[in-house]
DNA sequence: ATGCAGTCCTGTAAGC
DNA sequence: TGCTTACAGGACTGCA
């Protein structure tokens, strides 16, 4: 599932292929993504040059040489890839962007259509949109930021980590992995955390994210980077998807429960539920 | 205000 | 073998 490391990998892969390219054509399929494509968007994109490709949380942002911003969210099964235009079009391909001077094209494929591709009018409007939804990036998150998000809440840690307004980019996999790395039980309440535990959690999130980005993210089912390459971090999972398997630290079987509506994996020994202050 | 459950969507896999 | 059912979960809505 594309979370921060996967989205970052897609952005890095795509950047050399599409930054500097001028849009010649946009083809949109009949099936709607999360938000319907407005036909006016196509006209506003034609002739525009991509000037930068960036990421904020799990959102991908294409800057243009005009005010509009093209924004993509991969949802659960979204894939954004650059391929030779001659390549057969895979099932569930919903948008194709073609360039003036390239034999390659950009394709957005999304089997379950939880993803979205939208055009925002300008950067200020986009920043307001993202600002309403996203807290700090993990690599910019201070202990004070995280403490503010955690210690004022009665919600369980798993739910708090999935809340994009507290820290942007963490999804189900990296929430579980971060809590293991921080030795915190996913069912602990935010307000039960000590300052030391908040600090540990912050370091854990950052460490897990850095290692996952270095491995080009995780491929569980169908995630691929912008060049079609799979990720490798799934080989390093400590808990996610390892229910019943021995903890890599203490050999205790990894437990799986349902928390905040999500499958949640943890080591009952390493992540004991009591506070250690 | 807060937190939770339900919703969307379809491919995969388990169960009978 | 073929059908039904559960499950995967990011972002969002509606309800208590």
Q: What percent of chain A has pLDDT over 70?
A: 97
The pLDDT tens digits of the residues spanning A90-144 come to: 999 999 999 999 999 999 999 999 999 999 999 999 999 999 999 999 999 999 9
Q: What is the predicted pLDDT for the residue at A230?
A: 83
CA A37 to C1' C14, in angstroms, rounded, equals 26
Mean pLDDT score, A16-25: 97
CA A102 to C1' C11, in angstroms, rounded, equals 34
Q: Which nucleotides of C are covered by protein (CB under 7 A)?
A: 7-12
Read off the pTM: 0.95
Residue A202 CA: distances (Å) to CA of A4, A47, A162: 15, 43, 14
**A203-207, A229-233, A251-255: least confidently modelled range:** A229-233
> Is the CB of residue A170 less than 8 Å from the CB of residue A160?
no
DSSP state letter for A118? E
Q: What is the predicted pLDDT for the residue at A220?
A: 77
The pLDDT tens digits of the residues spanning A176-226 come to: 999 999 999 999 999 999 999 999 999 999 999 999 999 998 887 666 677
3-state secondary structure A77-92: CEEEEEEECCCCCCCC
> Is the CB of residue A205 less than 8 Å from the CB of residue A138?
yes
Residue A146 CA: distances (Å) to CA of A164, A190, A197: 12, 10, 11
Q: What is the predicted pLDDT for the residue at A222?
A: 65
Q: What is the predicted pLDDT for the residue at A129?
A: 92
Q: Which nucleotides of B are covered by protein (CB under 7 A)?
A: 2-12
Which nucleotide is closest to A261, CA to C1'? B5
- Banded model confidence at residue A277, pLDDT cuts 50, 70, 90: very low
Catalytic amino acids of A?
Answer: 2-3, 58, 262
Q: What is the predicted pLDDT for the residue at A275?
A: 57
Q: What is the predicted pLDDT for the residue at A274?
A: 74
CA A258 to C1' C6, in angstroms, rounded, equals 14
The closest alpha carbon to A187, from A220, A159, A145, A213, belongs to: A159
Mean pLDDT score, A70-91: 93
């Amino acid at each position: 599932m594309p979370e921060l490391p996967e989205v970052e990998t897609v952005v890095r892969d795509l950047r050399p292929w599409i930054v500097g390219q001028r849009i010649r054509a946009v083809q949109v399929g009949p099936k709607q993504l999360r938000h319907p494509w407005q036909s006016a968007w196509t006209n506003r994109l034609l002739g525009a040059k991509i000037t930068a490709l960036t990421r904020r949380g799990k959102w991908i942002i294409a800057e243009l040489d005009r005010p509009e911003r093209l924004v993509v969210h991969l949802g659960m099964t979204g894939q954004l890839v650059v391929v030779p235009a001659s390549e057969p079009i895979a099932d569930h391909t919903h948008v194709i962007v073609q360039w003036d001077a390239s034999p390659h094209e950009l394709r957005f494929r999304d089997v379950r259509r939880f993803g979205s591709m939208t055009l925002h009018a300008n950067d200020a409007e986009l920043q307001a949109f993202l600002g309403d939804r996203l807290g700090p990036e993990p690599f910019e998150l201070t202990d004070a930021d995280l403490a503010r998000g955690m210690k004022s809440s009665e919600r369980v840690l798993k739910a708090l980590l999935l809340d994009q307004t507290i820290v942007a980019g963490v999804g189900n996999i990296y929430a579980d992995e971060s809590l293991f790395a921080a030795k915190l039980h996913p069912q602990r309440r935010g307000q039960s955390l000590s300052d030391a535990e908040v600090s540990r959690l912050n370091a854990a999130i950052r460490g897990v994210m850095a290692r996952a980005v270095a491995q080009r993210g995780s491929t569980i089912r169908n995630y691929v980077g912008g060049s079609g390459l799979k990720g490798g971090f799934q080989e390093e999972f400590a808990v996610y998807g390892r229910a019943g398997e021995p903890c890599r630290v203490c050999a205790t079987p990894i437990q799986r429960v349902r928390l905040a509506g999500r499958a949640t994996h943890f080591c009952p020994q390493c992540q004991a539920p009591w506070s250690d202050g």
